[in-house]
Amino acid sequence: MPRIAKVVVDIALDREFDYLIPDHLHDGLRLGSRVLVPFGRSESRGYVVGLASESAFPSLKTVKQVIGPKPLVDEPVLALARWLGAYYAAPVEHAIRAVLPGAVRRAGAGFKEQLFVSPVAEAAPDEAALALLEKRCPKQAAVLAALRRDGGRPMAELTRELGTGAAVVRALAEKGFVRIGRETAERDPFARQVFLPTDPLALMPEQRAALDLTRRAIETRSPPVVLLYGVTGSGKTEVYLQAIAHVLDGGGGAIVLVPEISLTPQTVERFKSRFGDNIAVLHSHLSEGERHDEWHRVREGKARIAIGARSAVFAPVRKLGLIVVDEEHEPTYKQDESPRYNARDVAVMRGHMQACAVLLASATPALESYFNAKRGKYGLAVLPRRVDNRTMPVMRIVDMRLEAERVGRPTVLSGDLIEAIHRRIDRAEQTMLFLNRRGYSTALICRKCGYVAQCHQCSVSLTYHKSVDQLHCHMCGAVKSVPGACPECRDPAFKYTGVGTQRVESVIAKVFPHARIRRMDSDAVTRKDAYREILGDFKSGRIDILIGTQMIAKGLHFPNVTLIGVVYADLGLHLPDFRASERTFQLLTQVAGRAGRGEVQGEVIVQTYTPFNTAIQAARRLDYEGFCDQELEFRRELNYPPFTHLVCLTVKGASEEKVAFSARALSKALESALAGNRVFLSGATPAPLARIKGAYRYQIMVRGPSVRAITPAVNQAVKASKWPAGVSCSVDVDAFSLL
């Protein structure tokens, strides 16, 4: 019998501590149990990550308490957390924290209890007694009427709805008319929504082939991972639904990952309509209590399908049979703090560790996934045409240089786009306008001396938000008032330059004064239900023109949208990042796919200042394979992913001198530690965004044939370095953004 518990405490020390297990806790303490242990001069909470019969340390403290009746982390997820910490060079306690939602960690195990009021049938008053009660105590009568109608209600909900106090209910309990007891309260985030049941749809031959391949992966794990590459509108979701139904029929469960919370309402609607209460939703726009309860519904087997953003990859689904990663190419699957994991890659590893199938799906798969499918590591299913043979949209490129010459100045909307929107309004069709930049103007410039309003904490200009008449930093969140005159030369003639979604909204409102317009970006969508409300209004036709950032660019299905306008296609094209072309191509292709999903063919108008760019021309032709082949050749020549793994080390601190010195010293240490490992080391240089939130940043890039060839030396060099006060280093394995 194990006598030693290996515990990871909640503070970040990147090590396990041995504790004796007292006899009275032997039966209740297991792998994954949450425990209270003495730590230093106080106590700390932690998780049992290992059990042993002996310890290398002679004098051990004793576990004080097991928190909760059952472990919060089961053994498969615990093993995944260990891999997560090792692969992504993160402390093991960071990995444990990642696999558990904050709401679950803070609340411990179990649901919230509440007072519940139910009528006592044998003591129910007759009609005469009820009439008398209504005359003398109308509030008590109202409570009885509500309970007779509903059969029982939570106390808080009942008193809130009827506008009465708890004393009224307790008075009825004293008379013996009602019973007050405690019961588990499961908070349902979809309690007020109605989902109409749907049946499986008939599949096209390509969909049937994709489903057969996925079923084979579920049953035999051959192939273990399937890449579903299907053009927009080709019916990928129906393949997921029927594959998951196959898993449920076999007694298993599934996880469905979506990259954006904005996709969740439509995804939940389709899945709830097909699978009912078997669905649990896990994402940050739920209340803390709802997240807690949804997670526990999955853990206890009450919900067999978990849907959510990246952290849902760790959901404790019983008998996991399939993980679906929708829009698998999306950068939002990459976590930007330790552990810096990619949920797509974690899904593949979880599938490997738990012998479950993984389905990656996209209209524009990541080059890494496409490369793995081409070399046979993943199975490949292709959906080359839209359902019911609906036509793909026609894409037109508008050269905004010629437009500026024609009009005599740069413009937000081209004449072609304005004319196309007019036609849609006349035909009662809908338009979506896409610009991946929020705010009104991207910079405030003095025409006289050239002063640019910049953030004092970050290496970026401040963005003007007209709705609140303020300057905002989109990196650190700093807010400043708009100066009345130039701080440098006191000239009052400021000029607002650049375009954001607020400015597009303002221009559209002037050009189309009678159109119903809404904006959907992170500034406009701040309330919990705002996503669902805006998308619901758009779906029902109460919005003519929807303006938005990337949250409207993917996964959404609106059959009446026949026009997509891309206001500034060049926005991400010239960033100092080797993935800039790939992301531009993906974004244009995805946003184009929102058009023409009904009976009318769609049209896409792309406004650009670089019309002959490779990514833009490939997107115009919807030529994914051609773009990939060309981009892969470029990556091969320069030894970039997917031909290598890339690790980015960022050294940061308030003193630029200390940061630069520390980064160069680390680079020299890495050069020595990595010698002979067939890796490419790029020395310490200022990051493209050299300062964020007051911290100067230097980067070191390492590329190699495998993560295993890089991270041991990186970890050793980072731990051996003597960091000056205020200077720290973060390690990003398989880095997605190099800014």
Residues 212 and 270 in one domain: yes
Question: What DSSP string describes 512-570?
Answer: STTS-EEEESTTT--STTHHHHHHHHHHTT--SEEEESGGGSSS---TTEEEEEES-TT
Please tell me the predicted confidence (pLDDT) of residue 12.
58
Residues 404 and 419 in one domain: yes
Burial of 347 by CB count in 10 Å (0-12 exposed, 13-18 middle, 19+ buried)?
A: buried
447 domain-assigned: no
Quote the pTM value: 0.85
Q: What is the CATH number of the domain that holds 97?
A: 3.40.1440.60
Specify whether the CB–CB gap between 546 and 538 falls below 8 A: yes
Peptide bond into 223 cis (omega under 30): yes
Residues 627 and 655 in one domain: no
347 domain-assigned: yes
Residues 172 and 250 in one domain: no
Domain span at residue 284 reads 205-388
Domain end (from 47, 81, 103): 103
Residue 151: other Cβ atoms inside 10 A: 9
Which residue would you say has higher pLDDT here, 395 or 556?
Answer: 395
Question: What pLDDT digit, counting tens, does each position of 335-349 carry?
Answer: 999 999 999 999 999
Long-range contacts of 157-162 (CB under 8 A, 24+ apart): 158/117
533 domain-assigned: yes
Residue 269 per-residue DSSP state: H
Domain end (from 583, 607, 634): 634
Residues 172 and 233 in one domain: no
Residues 544 and 410 in one domain: yes
219 domain-assigned: yes
Residue 376: other Cβ atoms inside 10 A: 9
Please tell me the predicted confidence (pLDDT) of residue 89.
93
Residues 367 and 260 in one domain: yes
Which residues are CB-neighbours of 205 under 8 A, at least 6 positions away?
none
Residues 89 and 147 in one domain: no
446 domain-assigned: no
Q: Which residues, in sequence order, are bridge partners of residue 653?
A: 696, 727
d(CA 713, CA 728): 18
Question: What pLDDT digit, counting tens, does each position of 507-551 carry?
Answer: 999 999 999 999 998 888 777 677 788 888 998 999 999 999 888
pLDDT band at 45 (very low <50, low <70, confident <90, very high): confident
Q: Kindly tell me the number of DSSP H helices and DSSP E strands found in the chain.
A: 22, 30
Angle, vertex CA 690, rays to CA 338 and CA 97, nearest 5: 10
Residues 317 and 240 in one domain: yes
d(CA 86, CA 553): 35
Phi-psi region of 276 (alpha: psi -120 to 50; beta: other; left: phi over 0): left
Q: From residue 60, give the alpha-carbon distance in Å to each of 9, 18, 255, 431.
A: 15, 7, 41, 67
Specify whether the CB–CB gap between 322 and 211 falls below 8 A: no
For the CA atoms of 277, 278, 281, 282, the dihedral, rounded to the nearest 10 degrees, stands at: 140
Residues 221 and 360 in one domain: yes
536 domain-assigned: yes
490 domain-assigned: no
**Token pair belonging to 614:** 């490779």
Please tell me the predicted confidence (pLDDT) of residue 268.
83
Burial code of 186-215, b = ≥16 C-beta within 10 A, e = fewer? bbebbeeeebeeeeeeebbebbeebbebbb
pLDDT band at 186 (very low <50, low <70, confident <90, very high): low
Domain end (from 634, 659, 690): 634
Specify whether the CB–CB gap between 256 and 267 falls below 8 A: yes
The answer on pLDDT for 669 being more than 60 is: yes
Helix axes 501-511, 415-426, angle to 10 degrees: 60
Residues 618 and 519 in one domain: yes
Question: What pLDDT digit, counting tens, does each position of 392-433 carry?
Answer: 999 999 999 999 999 998 899 999 999 999 999 999 999 999
287 domain-assigned: yes
Q: What is the CATH number of the domain that holds 356?
A: 3.40.50.300
Number of domains in the chain: 5
Please tell me the predicted confidence (pLDDT) of residue 113.
54
Q: What is the CATH number of the domain that holds 701?
A: 3.30.70.600
Residues 214 and 297 in one domain: yes
